[in-house]
């Protein structure tokens, strides 16, 4: 119901935003020609827009709060659609089959561009899952993940340039180098926690990038390395379209491999140790978990996937330079993990799809693309703070024979 109070509230919001956006949206100065442009139309638009949006906003916030209250009162934990899929074999098997068919026929139905961005999305699934090990599972905030990605990419580019090593040889080398660098980063930061860890990893990422930028003799500096061969297939010569499809399937296969491995890892002994470490470091040590080893394996295994993805990146783009490995890239991957739902594999997969595909499809908005993207990030977090798939804590329950799905 739109009561008078509601309208008054919205009016206040509208006035507030008109005031707030006044200098930046309304006035435009040209200091060279000494002219001032007043754009009062914008102010009207902001006023009207914020007036209407404030109703929607309040409504949504109220709904969210109600939902939270209901949850607190314990009126039935509503499982999200994704969790239900995960729980029920009857649902998830057909769903998986449909997804598999969709992924399989996709490159034969759509244009090259679509295949290409889908390939990118699958690459980011690998990256997201790798970072998920470090951030989501082990709870170590890593803002320099892109460094390992760069290590993989440069490993392939340089080994190919100097020694002519092929993509397939470089793939395991890239992964191994990623792991080595993961341990290299892991050692000094063993004692750090939380945001101190975040800033040191951020620094590590920047250090790698700056070295690549400055050390011309080693990395060819900012002008990068061009003409990196695309992954080959027993010397078969491909057309551009066929090659795009080939890389697509290659990346899909690797992504599935990643999903499989990460899934196994999470349920393994070391996976449990990571979870324990995330929940309580001290209790974890008290229970006899080797903290040093657990943390280092988390860094190393997380970095392995980035190294792998880096090699593919170099092969797919055929040109790399340090500009591809900026802090923004790390942040992007972190967004995938958090937006998807930390610690959840399905979540990370969905997060990667959303975060890679959304900006591409938002191209229709042209210059409003990133603006919209930022908005979506904020709104997603405000209304679904746990991510698309909130990770449910693993609980072990003993159920009687007649208690089933409600």
Partner 1 sequence: MKRLALRISILTLAAVFAVFGTAAADTIKLGVGGAHSGDLASYGLPTVKAAELVVKDINARGGILGKQVELVVEDDVCKPEVATNTATKLVDQGVRVVVGHICSGATKAALSIYKKADVIAISPSATNPELTQSGEYPNFFRTIASDDAQARLEVDFALDVLKLKKIAVLHDKGDYGKGLAEFAKGFLEADPRAEVVLYEGITPGAVDYSAVVQKIKRTGAEAVIFGGYHPEASKIVTQMRKKRMDTIFISDDGVKDDTFIKVAGEYAEGVYATGPKDVSQNPLAIAANKAHQEAYGADPGAFFLNAYAAAQAALNAIEKAGGTDNYAGLIKSLQNDPVDTPLGQIRFDERGDAIGVGFSVYQVKNGVYVEVQ
Partner 2 sequence: MDLHYFAELFLGGLTRGSIYALIALGYTMVYGIIELINFAHGEIYMIGAFTGLIVATVFTFAGFPTLAVLVIASVAAVVYSSCYGLTMEKIAYKPLRGAPRLSALISAIGMSLFLQNYVLLAQTSDFLPFPSLVPDLAFWEPYAHIISSQEIVIIGVTALVMVLLNLLIKFTRMGKAMRATSQDREMAMLAGVDVNRVISLTFVIGSATAALGAVLIASHIGQINFYIGFIAGIKAFVAAVLGGIGSVPGAVVGALVLGWTESFFTGYISSDYEDVFAFIFLVVILILKPSGILGRSQAQKV
Report the interface residues with partner 2, using CB under 8 A. 16-17, 19-21, 23-25, 27-29, 31-32, 34, 36, 42, 61, 64, 135, 141, 188-189, 191-193, 195-196, 198-200, 202-204, 206-207, 210-211, 214, 282-283, 327, 331, 334-335, 338-339, 342, 367-368, 370-371, 373-383, 385-387
DSSP 175-186: HHHHHHHHHHHH
Task: Pick the closer one to partner 1 by CB: 254 or 284.
Answer: 254
Least spacing, CB of residue 123 vs partner 2, in Å = 21
Q: Least separation, in Å, of the C-beta of 24 and partner 2?
A: 5
Q: Are 251 and 312 in contact (CB under 8 A)?
A: yes
**What residues numbered 191-250 form the site for partner 1, per CB under 8 A?**
213-214, 216, 221-224, 226-227, 239-240, 243-244
- Residue 289 CB, nearest distance to partner 1 (Å)? 39
Q: Is 71 in the site for partner 1 (CB under 8 A)?
A: no
DSSP state of 364: G
- With contact defined as beta carbons under 8 Å apart, do 198 and 143 qualify? yes
Q: Is 193 helix (H, G, I), strand (E, B) or coil?
A: coil
CB of 372 to partner 2, least distance (A): 9
The full 3-state SS of 119-153, as one line of letters, equals HHHHHHHHHHHHHHHHHHHCCCCCCCCHHHHHHHH
**Distance (Å, rounded) from C-alpha 16 to C-alpha 46?**
10
| Residue 365 near partner 1 by CB under 8 A | no
Specify the residue for token string 């599935």: 256
Rounded to a whole number of angstroms, the minimum distance from the CB of residue 331 to partner 2 is: 6
Vertex 238: Cα angle to 235 and 241 (nearest 5): 155
End-to-end CA distance of the chain: 33
Nearer to partner 2 (CB atom), residue 23 or residue 49? 23
CA gap 205, 1 in Å, rounded: 52
Residues in the chain: 406
Nearer to partner 2, 26 or 357 (CB): 26
- 268 makes contact, choosing from partner 2, partner 1, none, with CB < 5 to 8 Å by partner type, with none
Considering CB distances under 5 to 8 angstroms, the limit depending on partner class, which of partner 2, partner 1, none binds residue 104?
none
Binding residues for partner 1, rule CB under 8 A, total 53
Concatenated DSSP letters of 201-267 = HHHHHHHHHHHHHH-HHHH-GGG-B--PPPPPSTT----HHHHHHHHHHHHHHHHHHHHHHHHHHHT
Both tokens of residue 373?
A: 């993207």
Angstrom CA distances, 106 to 179, 240, 251, 252, 355, stand at 33, 17, 14, 11, 19
Nearest distance, CB of residue 376 and partner 2, angstroms: 7
Residue 125 or 189: which CB sits closer to partner 2?
Answer: 189
Given partner 2, partner 1, none, residue 386, with its beta carbon under 5 to 8 Å by kind, binds partner 2
**CB-wise, 229 or 385, nearer to partner 2?**
385
Q: Single out the residue of 42, 116, 166, 372 in contact with partner 1 (rule: CB under 8 A).
A: 116
Write out the two tokens for 169.
């040889």
Please, which of residues 308-337 interact with partner 1 by CB under 8 A?
A: 313, 316-321, 323-324
Q: Which residues here bind partner 1, judged by CB under 8 A? A: 30-32, 81, 84-85, 88, 90-91, 94-95, 98-99, 102, 105-106, 109-114, 116-117, 120, 213-214, 216, 221-224, 226-227, 239-240, 243-244, 313, 316-321, 323-324, 360, 363, 366-367, 369-370
């Amino acid at each position: 119901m739109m009561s008078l109070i509601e309208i008054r509230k919205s009016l206040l919001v509208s006035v507030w935003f008109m005031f707030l956006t006044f200098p930046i949206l309304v006035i435009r100065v040209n200091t060279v020609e000494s002219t001032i442009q007043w754009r009062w139309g914008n102010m009207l638009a902001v006023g009207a827009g914020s007036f209407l949006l404030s109703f929607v906003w309040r409504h949504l916030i109220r709904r969210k709060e109600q939902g939270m209250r209901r949850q607190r009162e314990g009126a039935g934990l509503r499982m999200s659609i994704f969790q239900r899929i995960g729980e029920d074999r009857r649902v998830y098997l057909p769903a998986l089959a449909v997804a598999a068919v969709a992924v399989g026929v996709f490159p034969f139905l759509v244009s090259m561009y679509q295949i290409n961005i889908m390939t990118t999305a699958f690459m980011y699934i690998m990256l997201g899952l790798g970072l998920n090990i470090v951030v989501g599972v082990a709870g170590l905030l890593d803002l320099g993940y892109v460094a390992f990605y760069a290590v993989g990419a440069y490993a392939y580019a340089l080994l190919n340039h100097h020694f002519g090593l092929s993509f397939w040889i470089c793939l395991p080398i890239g992964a191994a180098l990623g792991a080595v660098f993961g341990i290299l980063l892991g050692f000094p930061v063993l004692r750090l926690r939380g945001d101190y860890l975040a800033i040191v990893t951020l620094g590590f990422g920047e250090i790698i990038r700056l070295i690549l930028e400055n050390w011309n003799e080693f990395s060819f500096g900012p002008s990068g390395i061009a003409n990196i061969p695309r992954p080959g297939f027993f010397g078969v010569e491909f057309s551009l379209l066929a090659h795009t499809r080939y890389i697509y399937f290659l990346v899909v296969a690797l992504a599935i491999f990643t999903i499989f491995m990460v899934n196994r890892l999470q349920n393994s002994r070391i996976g449990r140790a990571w979870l324990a470490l995330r929940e309580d470091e001290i209790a974890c040590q008290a229970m006899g978990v080797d903290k040093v080893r657990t943390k280092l394996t988390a860094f190393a295994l997380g970095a392995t996937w980035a190294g792998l993805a880096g090699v593919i990146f170099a092969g797919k783009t055929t040109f790399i330079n340090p500009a591809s490995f900026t802090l923004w890239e790390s942040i992007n991957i972190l967004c995938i993990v958090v937006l998807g739902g930390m610690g959840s594999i399905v979540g990370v997969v969905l997060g990667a799809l959303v975060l890679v595909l959304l900006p591409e499809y938002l191209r229709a908005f042209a210059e409003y693309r990133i603006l919209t993207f930022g908005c979506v990030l904020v709104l997603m977090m405000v209304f679904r703070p746990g991510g698309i798939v909130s990770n449910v804590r693993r609980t072990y329950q003993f159920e009687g024979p007649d208690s089933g799905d409600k």
